[in-house]
Amino acid sequence: MTLDRQPGFSRLAPQTGTHVRLEPGDVLTIVDPSGVQVSDLYCVAADDVAETLSSGRSIDFENTIRFTTGGRLWSNRSRPMLTIVEDTCGTHDFLLTPCSQQTFDILYPDLGGAPHPSCFANLVGALSPHGVGPDQVGTTLNIFMNVWADGDGELHIGPPPSRAGDRFSVRAEMDLHVGITACSAEKSNGGVCKPIDWSVTRAGGA
């Protein structure tokens, strides 16, 4: 069952994405209205889109691979881009790139190479009007995604632990173009791709 969309929220249809413009202090909230659904997030500085989200710098400066409330997401120029201000789930991934056509081709050969919607294509579609090309869309913060490494370093992907209504909010630390998705990979989302709701609370209160 999918919860009704709350006032002030927009809904991303399954396997789609969108662009969000944030100014410093604005808070973007991502809600999983159904449970067991991932939302990928990527961002670039609005005043120079060559400044992009960096998983490596974020992991380095925050000294963790588990990002939750209080954690910051850093750019390739070592500046904070976003601060996590709310997280009712606690499980997210910052190791993997967004699912792409090649993800399906290489990792799911049973799909026979058929065209498949992807977070990568959706993020490129959302961000390319703002000057961000596909080569720049790197490792995303994969909100609610359930990835862990075992003792041998092998990765495992389980169903997202998010329950219907779980929320994840980030505050902008600079002017940003943000791309967000309702993830397109059935196998990462409990077998069925579902919607994602989102809302922005403007710093100015408007």
User: Rg (Cα) of the chain, in Å, rounded?
Assistant: 16
Q: Is 95 in the site for a second copy (CB under 8 A)?
A: yes
Rounded Cα gap, residues 189 and 155, in angstroms: 16
Size of the site for a second copy (CB under 8 A): 35
Q: Is 102 in the site for a second copy (CB under 8 A)?
A: yes
Backbone angles phi, psi at 45, to 5 degrees: -70, 135
One residue of 9, 19, 65, 159 binding a second copy per CB under 8 A: 65
Residue 73 vs 200, nearer CB to a second copy: 73
One residue of 19, 23, 61, 159 binding a second copy per CB under 8 A: 61
The DSSP letter of residue 112 is: T
One residue of 6, 24, 77, 163 binding a second copy per CB under 8 A: 77
Tokens of 10: 């927009």
> By CB under 8 A, what part of segment 39-58 binds a second copy?
50-52, 54-57
Residue 49 vs residues 18, 77, 79, 84, 134: alpha-carbon distances, Å: 17, 11, 14, 21, 12
Q: Is 59 in the site for a second copy (CB under 8 A)?
A: yes
Residue 4 vs 135, nearer CB to a second copy: 135
Rounded Cα gap, residues 190 and 180, in angstroms: 19
The type of residue at 42 is Y
Residues interacting with a second copy, by CB under 8 A? Answer: 50-52, 54-57, 59-61, 63-66, 76-78, 95-97, 100, 102-103, 106-107, 133, 135, 138-140, 149, 152-155
